[in-house]
Structure 1
Amino acid sequence: METQDSIGDFFRGVETPGMIDWTTMPTYNTVMALAVGAALVGLVLFFRALHADPAEVSVTGWSLNFGVLGLILTVTGLHMTLTWPFAAGGFAFDNIIFGEPSLALGVLLLAAAVYLWSKREVGVTVREVARDSRPMTIFVVGLGLALFAIALAGVVYQLFAAPPQEPISGFFGEWAIIEAFFISALYTAIGVGALLTPFATGRLARGLDGGVVTSIIGWCWAVTGAIWLLFAALNFYSHIGLVVNTM
């Protein structure tokens, strides 16, 4: 098994020409991860702003933000879910891990964008948003449980290790459990926030303070969102390196 054994390998990866036929395996989970990170952070910032002063919230601006991110995730997630592009390279499970949750989040974001756009003239309050979104929490809870299942599979089967041909991330490929725990922890934290949404929306819809539940959701999504943003930015370099080393 090849490994990265020098500083040069760490930043450039191991060259293995012809290893992957990229014409049969389009890879775009870089922009998907970027959109997921921006969406999670955005959701937290939106509700914080709405709680602080609804009159100062740009409903139109947030609608456009969620619409852009939702469109990216819906299109890419739908394509990955229906066509399974990673199967050609022997990574069929990645189509489920990345494609289906991205599709689900993308459609939810599009729904939020349409909802906020319809309220652009009158504005919204935390209580109103919580009340109107409560029926959607059934699907959100299911999605949270799915994320737990993905996280468990990631650790049990150690699915997230990068090959040595990928710069930086590939350095840790020899210890597959490291990246397995890292990615699985992100999925788990997002799932925790998803499972708590019915409790948060229930309290807020009744005009109560969100309490510790909303704080947990906020921290889970803000921290994981920021990590996804940074990790996605890194992957734009590491995935380009992977393509160059294996094409």
Structure 2
Amino acid sequence: MTVVAEGLKIDWSIMPTYNTIMSIAAGAGLLALVLFGKELLANAKDSSSDINTDGWSIAFGVLGIILFPMGMHMSLTWPLAAGGFPFDNIVFGETSIGFGALLLFASFYLWRRGEQFAAANPLKKFGRVAQPISWFVGTLGLALFGIAAAGITYQLFAAPAEEPISGWFADYPMVEATFMSLLFALVGVGAVLFPFVLGKFRSGDFDAKIVKVMGWSWAITGVIFALFGAMNFFTHIGLIVNTM
């Protein structure tokens, strides 16, 4: 008699997942920070260059509103634990709380002080205003290094075979573990450099190499996170259909 193995089944009613929109928001948030920085740098070199503080306030606010409450809910309720992925609640939930809170307060500051901020030397002012919180950003970068190390050590992030596209590598867990770990580590590089970049801004050294390294690290990872999240709208829906 031939026994047919039953595929993976998940009770989705007790394991809500929403790191799809969180991934897009995180990617868009990283890109928004890079583009906002480009406007500040352009203004520093040519004071007639405009800074769209209203637009950036809206952008940071929208993305922060997505990331902060979802990250908070994920961190406090651990919805992914029911399906055997408790570590994902830490990886995606707690990082989203930190990033979301930073975006929300950046939005609030630009909304209340946008005109004053853009009036004179906004890049240097940004360096002064953001300096006290920059060390929190830096330690978040160290946390991202920890996530990357855990991803490699414990071969995390591997998708089950039932998930389209990502599931192609189910028998090779190190593929997705390495991809995601390097992604988190690269974001971490930019975050760790952030306090030192602000020091360059305050001193007027706008073209320092670490400024470019931070910008490129967040630009590259922002694009990847956004595209990966968009792809997951298909792959996660496929996983749900295949495991109901």
Would you call these one fold, judging by a TM-score over 0.5? Answer: yes
1:217-232 matches, within 5 Å, as: 217-232=214-229
Q: 2:240 maps to which residue?
A: 243
Are 1:52 and 2:52 an aligned pair?
no
Give distance in 2, aligned partners of 1:209 and 1:60: 24
Tell me if the contact between 1:16 and 1:245 (Cα under 8 Å) persists in the aligned partners: no
1:93 pairs with 2:87: yes
Aligned-partner Cα distance in 2 for 1:83–1:97: 14
Q: Say whether 1:43 aligns with 2:37.
A: no
Task: Give the CA deviation at 1:73.
Answer: 0.3
Identity of aligned residues (%): 52
Equivalent position of 1:108 in the other structure: 102
TM-score calculated relative to the size of structure 2: 0.92
**How far 1:208 sits from its partner (Å)?**
2.6
User: Paired residue for 1:10?
Assistant: none
Matched-pair contact (CA < 8 Å) for 1:73–1:105: yes
Q: Structure 1 residue 68 and structure 2 residue 65: aligned?
A: no
Deviations 1:128-183 (A, max 9, x none): 11110000111111101100000000001001110011000000111000100100
Corresponding residue SS for 2:162? coil
CA contact (8 A) 2:41 2:206 kept: no
In angstroms, what is the RMSD of aligned CA positions?
1.5
When the two structures are aligned, how many residues end up with a matched partner? 233
The residue identity in structure 1 corresponding to 2:132 is P
The corresponding residue for 1:33 is 23
Match of 2:75 among 78, 81, 86: 81
* Residue ranges of structure 1 left out of the alignment (5+ in a row): 1-14
Tell me how far 1:206 sits from its aligned partner: 2.3
How far off its partner does 1:203 sit? 1.4
Deviation of 1:31 after TM superposition, in Å, equals 0.4
1:158 to 147, 155, 158: 155
Q: Per-residue CA shift, 1:56-80, capped at 9, x if unaligned? A: 1210100010000011000100000
Moved more, 170-179 or 55-64: 55-64
Letter in 1 for 2:101: V
Q: CA deviation at 1:51?
A: 1.2
Checking the alignment, whether the CA contact within 8 Å between 1:62 and 1:113 is kept in structure 2 is yes
Retained in 1: the 8 A contact 2:67–2:100? yes
Aligned counterparts, 1:136-155, within 5 A:
136-155=133-152
Indicate the SS of the match to 1:20: coil
Paired with 1:94 and 1:30, the residues of 2 have a C-alpha distance of: 13
Query: Structure 1 pair 19/203, CA: closer, same or farther in 2 (3 Å)?
Result: same
- Structure 1 position 118, deviation (Å): 1.6
**1:235, 1:193 → 2: CA distance?**
25
Which structure has more RCO (C-alpha within 8 Å, separation ≥ 6)? 1
Q: Report the residue type matching 2:185 in the other structure.
A: T
Instruction: Work out whether residues 33 and 228 of structure 1, in 8 Å CA contact, stay in contact via their aligned partners in 2.
Output: yes
Residues 189 and 221 in structure 1, CA contact (< 8 A), matched pair in contact too = yes
| Distance apart, 1:18 and its partner CA | 7.1
Query: Per-residue CA shift, 1:172-209, capped at 9, x if unaligned?
Result: 11100010010000100000101111111011112232
Gaps of 5+ in 2: none
Q: Residue 8 of structure 2 contacts residue 162 of structure 2 at CA under 8 Å; is this kept in 1? A: no
Q: What is residue 118 of structure 1 aligned with on the other side?
A: 112
